[in-house]
Structure 1
Amino acid sequence: MEYTHLSEFEIRHGALSMWTPELAADAWQPDDRPLTSVHAGYCASVDPADPLPGRGRWIGTVFEMDAPLDGATWRETLRRWHARHEGLRTTVTTDPAGEPRRLVAAPAAVDVAEQPIAGLTEGTRINEFLSGTLEERLSPLVWPHCLAATVEHADTGDFTVLVAADHSVLDAYSQAILILELRTLYREVMVGEKARESVTFGSAADFAVLERASAAELDSDSPAVATWRAFLADGAMPRFAPHAQRPARADLPQPSVSRRLLDLAELEGVEAALDQVRHRMSVAVFAALAVANQQRFGADRMRTAMPIATRPDLRWMESMGWFVNVVPVDIALPPGVGIAGAMDQARAALRRSRAANDASWSRVLYLLAVTETPRFGISFLDIRVLPGYELVADLRGRTLRAESYSPDEVFLWVVRAADGLYVSTRYPAGFPAEVMDEFLTAFGQALSSITAAVHAGPAADGRGEPRPSVAAETAMPADARTLRTNTLRVAAQAG
C-alpha cells in the first residue's frame, strides 16, 4: 500500500457525491476526559481564522468498493461507522485561558447527508475539487472532522470511496484498517445484518485518560526525558542533508516520490538472510538508510524522529483515532562500515529509543523547553499486520496525506507490502530532485546488499527477540491471539 497524495491517485470518471455527518446543535455534551497531550497542543497551534485549515494537515484513504453504489446503504454504513467510533463524533471547544475541552455526541445522534456534485464527472477535475474541498473544510477545531466522497462508476458497477479527516481523528493504522471495516459494514447493511460488536472498538478518549496520566508522571529525571535530552544535545532537531537545500518560494508544495525498492522475490531473499542473523526488517531499513546517508552525504551519524503506534491494549486494535507517539533514533556508523555492522548499530539505536516508547513526546519536549517539532522523520510499517491485507491491494487501496508546504521537513515512509518493499517521501521544494533520487537509489542498494553480506559473514549468533510463551499464547482465544500478534507487530516495528 502506497502512502501518497490524492493527486497521484487516478480517479476513474463517474458521478461524484459528498457525504457529510450531521448533528443537531444541542447534541454536544461536555466530557471531562482530556485530550491527549499531542492533540491538545495540535489544536492550540491552529489559527481558528485560517481559511484553509486542512492545508497540509488532513490525511485519508481512497479505494474502490467492489459492489454497486446504493445511496441508502452507503448512508447507513457511514452512520453506523460514526456510531461505532466515539472519536468520529467528538469535537473540541476552545478557551483562550486554557487548553481545548472535549465535547461528545451520542451514537444515535449522528446522521449523514448526501450532496451530489453536478457537472463533475472527469477524474482529474474530481481530484482537484476534492483536494480543494478538504483543505477548506477539515479542521481540528470545527466538526465534522471527517468527510467522505463517492464516485459512482455506472459502466463497471462499482464505486470509488474517499475518506478524509483531520489528523486528530485518524492515524496511519486507522487509515489502513478503515478500508475493510467500511467494506464489511456496507455488506452487512446490504444484506440486513446487524453491525458486528467487538471489544476492540475502544474509545480514543479512554486512551487519552491513560496517556495524560502517564505524561503527568514524567519529570526531568525520567529515562525518556534523558533519551530525548541526549538526542537534542546540540540544541536543535536534526535536519536531512541541510547542506543540499536550495532557496525556494515558501508557497511551493513539497515534491513527493513513491517507488518500489525491492520486488517480492528480492525482499524475500533479504528477509531470509535477516532470519539467519536474527534481525528484524525494521533494523535492516534503518541500517540501510544510515548507510545511504553516509555514502551520499558523508555523515557518520543519522538522527531522526520515528513515529510509533501506541495502541497499548486489544480494546483499541480496531479504533479510529490518533494513537501515535514519536521517539528519537540516533545511529552512529564507523567510517566505511558495511551493512552487517550497520545493522548492529541500528539495532542498538532502536533498542535505546524504546526508553521513550511510552512517554508522550510532546510532554517530554515541554519538560525540555523545546518548542521545535521534528523536521526529519522515518516511519516503517509491515502492512501484513492488517487483517485481509491482500484484498486491500485488489481494491486499489491507498493511504493519503495532504500536500505539505514546509521549507525544511523531510519524511520517509517505508512499507513492507504484499508485493515488495516501498518507500514514499516528501521533501522541500528547494531540495534537488536528483539528490533525493540518488539517496533513494543508495538506500535500495544497501538493502539489496544484505543477502550477500549475510551469506559471506559468520553464522547467526543466536540473538533474537523474546517471544510470548506457548502457554501464554494458547491460553487466549484464537481471535485474541491473532490480534495480539498484530499488536506486537505494530507496536514493535522499531525492532
Structure 2
Amino acid sequence: MEYTHLSEFLIRRGELTIWTPELTRSDAWRDDERPLASVHEQYLGFLEPDDPRPGRGRWIGTIFEMDAPLDAQAWATTLRLWHDRHEGFRTTAVPTGDGGYHRVTTAPGTVQVTGAPVPGLVDGDQINEYLCEVLESRLSALVWPHLLLATVTHETDDFTVLVGADHSVLDAYSQAVLILELRTLYTAVRTGGEIRDSATFGSPADYAVRERAAAEELTPDSPAVAVWREFLGTPGSPMPRFAADRVAELDGEHAQPSVSRTLLTIEELEEVEQVLNRIRHRLSVTVFAALAVASRAVFGEDRFRTVMPIATRPDLTWLESMGWFVNVVPVDITLPAGADMAAALEVTRSSLKRAHTCNDASWGRSLAMVGAVEGPTFGASFLDIRMLPDYELVADLRGRTLRAVSYSTEEVYFWVVRGPDGLYVSTRYPAGLPAEVMDRFLTEFARAMYAVTTIAAPVAAARPVDAPAALSAG
C-alpha cells in the first residue's frame, strides 16, 4: 500500500458528494475528565486557532474504491454506525481559558452523517483539486468534526471513497484497516447482515488515561530518558537532520517533493529474505541497517540517527480502534570502520533493542527532561503490510493511505513498506535538497538491502532469532 499524496491518485470521472458528521442535538457535548494523550496535547500546542487553512500540511487519510454501487441511505447508516462504534470520532478538545485544553465527548447515537452533492464537478482531476482544497480548509484539531468523507459515483457498479482526517483522530494503522472495516460494515447494512460488535474497538480516551499515567512516572533517571539523552547529546543540541549541509535556503514557501519507488522487486526481495532466514535476522533490522550504510556511502557519516514512529496499542482492547496511538523512539546506529552489511545488521539489531526501551515512554516528556529545544525532524518507519487482514483485497480496491503536502524546510521522512510485490519506499524532503542527492541516497539504500544476498556464512547462528519489532507507524 503506497503512502502518497491525494494528487497522485487518479480519481475516475463521476459525481462527487461530501459527507459531514453533525450532532443531532445542540447540547450533546459532555465534559470528559479523561486526559488528552501526551502527543495530542503537545500537537495542540503548536496550532494557531485562527489559521484559515488548519489542515494544510497536517491532514492524513485513505482512498479506495468500494466494490459495490452507492446506496446513499445505506452509506449514511454505515457512517452513523461507524461513528457510534469509535468514540475517537466523537470526542474533541476545547480551550480551558488558561492556554490549555480539556476533553469533551458525545454519546453514541448523537452523530449523523449527511451528504451534500457538489454539482457540476465530474472531471477526476478537478475533483482531486477540489478535495485537496476542502481538506486543507475544513479539517482542524481544534474544530469538530475532525473527519470528513467524500464519495465519487461512477458509471460502473462501484464508487470511490475518501476519508480525510486530522491526525488527532487517525494514525497510520487506522488509515490502513479502515478500508476493510467500512467495506464490511457497508455490506452488512446493505444486505441486512449482522453488525459485528467487538471488545477490540477500545476508546482512545481510555488509552490516554493509561498513557498519561505512564508518562507521569518518568523521571530524569528512567532508562528511556537515558536513551534519549544519549541520542540527543549535549542539552540544547539540535535534533539530527538528514543531509542538513546539502539543503539550500529558498525564498518563499515551497511544497516538499515526494518520491515513491520500488527498492527491491519481489524476486530480489525473496533472495534477501532467504538469506535473512538463514542468518536469523528480521527485515525490519535490515531496513535500518541499510539506511545507515546508505548514509555512510552518500554523506560519509558512520553514525546514523533518526526517530522511528511506533504503534502504541498496548493490548487487544485497541486492536481495531480508530485513533492516534503513536509514540516516537530514537534509533542511534554507529557503524564500525569498514563494516559490511553483515556487521551492520549486528550493530543495528542491538541499536533497535535499545530503542525499544523507549516504546512506552512519552517522547515529548522524555525530550523535555533531556533539555531538547525542538522536536524530531528526521524519521523513518517500516511496515510489513502482510500483517494486515486481507491485505491482497486492499490492493484490489486500489487502497492508498494519504498524507498532506508538507512545506517544511527541514523535515525528511521515509516510509518503507514490505508489500506483496516487493519492497518500496516513499519519502518527502525539503525543496532545497537537490533531487539528485535523494536519488543517490535511495540508490545506495537499495544497493545495501540487496547486499544481504552476498553474506555467505551464518552470523551468530547460535543466538535466537530477533524478537518481533514494535509495529511502525507514520
Indicate whether the TM-score tops 0.5. yes
Bigger shift: residues 24-33 or 365-374: 365-374
* Pair 1:355-2:357 in alignment: yes
Report if aligned partners of 1:60, 1:400 keep a CA contact under 8 Å in 2: yes
Once the two structures are TM-superposed, the CA of residue 247 in structure 1 deviates from its matched residue by 1.5
**Are 1:95 and 2:122 counterparts?**
no
Change (3 A) 1:459 1:38: closer
- Is the 8 Å Cα contact of residues 329 and 350 (structure 1) preserved in structure 2? yes
Aligned-pair distance for 1:493? 5.4
Distance 1:30 1:371, change over 3 A: farther
Q: Which residue of 2 aligns with 1:28?
A: 29
Once the two structures are superposed, the pairs formed by residues 6-25 of structure 1 within 5 Å of their partners are 6-23=6-23, 24-25=25-26
1:41-60 superposed matches below 5 A:
41-60=42-61
8 Å CA contact 2:410–2:429 kept in 1: the answer is yes
| Matches of 1:142 and 1:458, distance apart in 2 | 56
Partner of 2:107: 106
2:452 to 450, 458, 461: 450
For 1:36 and 1:342, the matched residues in 2 are separated by 36
The within-5 A match list for 1:82-481 is: 82-154=83-155, 156-234=156-234, 235-453=237-455, 456-458=456-458, 461-465=461-465
**In structure 1, C-alpha distance between the alignment counterparts of 2:303 and 2:368, rounded to whole Å:** 26
1:170 alignment partner AA:
L
Q: What is the alpha-carbon distance in structure 2 between the residues aligned to residue 308 and residue 328 of structure 1?
A: 11
Deviation for aligned residue 1:25: 2.1
Aligned-residue sequence identity (percent) comes to 61
Indicate if the aligned counterparts of 1:326 and 1:357 stay in contact, CA closer than 8 A.
yes
| 8 Å contact from structure 1 (residues 44, 100) kept in 2 | no
CA distance in 2, matches of 1:36, 1:298: 39
- State the alpha-carbon separation in 1 of the partners of residues 175 and 413 from structure 2: 18
1:197 Cα shift?
0.6
**Judging changes above 3 Å, is the alpha-carbon distance between structure 1 residues 407 and 48 closer, same or farther for their aligned structure 2 residues?**
same
Structure 2: unaligned runs, 5 residues or longer: none
Distance 1:290 1:370 in 2: 23
1:279–1:464 CA contact under 8 A, matched in 2: no
CA RMSD, aligned part only?
1.4
Secondary structure at the aligned position of 2:343 is classed as helix
Contact 2:308/2:472, CA 8 A, preserved across alignment: no
1:340-369 per-residue CA deviation (whole Å, 9 max, x = no partner) reads: 111111111101111111101011112223
Deviates more, 1:244-253 or 1:415-424: 244-253
The runs of 5 or more residues in structure 1 that have no matched partner are 468-487
Which AA in structure 1 matches 2:367?
L
Q: CA deviation at 1:193?
A: 2.3
Mapped partners of 2:409, 2:392: distance in 1:
37
Name the aligned partner's letter for residue 179 of structure 1: I
**What amino acid is aligned across from residue 34 of structure 1 in structure 2?**
P
Aligned length: 470
How many Å apart are 1:492 and its aligned residue?
Answer: 5.1
Cα distance in structure 1, aligned partners of 2:251 and 2:423: 33
Cα separation, 1, equivalents of 2:272 and 2:74: 45
Contact 2:232 2:372 in 1 (8 A): no
Is 2:383–2:471's contact at 8 Å kept on the other side of the alignment?
Answer: no
Give 3-state SS (helix, strand or coil) of 1:126's partner: helix
Please name the residue that 1:480 is paired with.
none
The amino acid that maps onto 1:272 is Q
| Deviant stretches of 4+, over 6 Å | none
Q: What is the CA-CA distance between 1:251 and the residue it aligns to?
A: 1.3
Query: What letter corresponds to residue 286 of structure 1 in structure 2?
Result: F
Out of 42-51 and 170-179, give the one that drifted further.
42-51
- Please state whether the residue corresponding to 2:178 is helix, strand or coil: helix
**Aligned-partner residue type, residue 177 of structure 2:** I
Q: Secondary structure at the match of 2:100?
A: strand
Shift of 1:425: 0.2
Would you say the 8 A contact 2:59–2:135 is kept in 1? yes
Displacement, 1:465? 4.0
| Letter matched to residue 15 of structure 2 | A
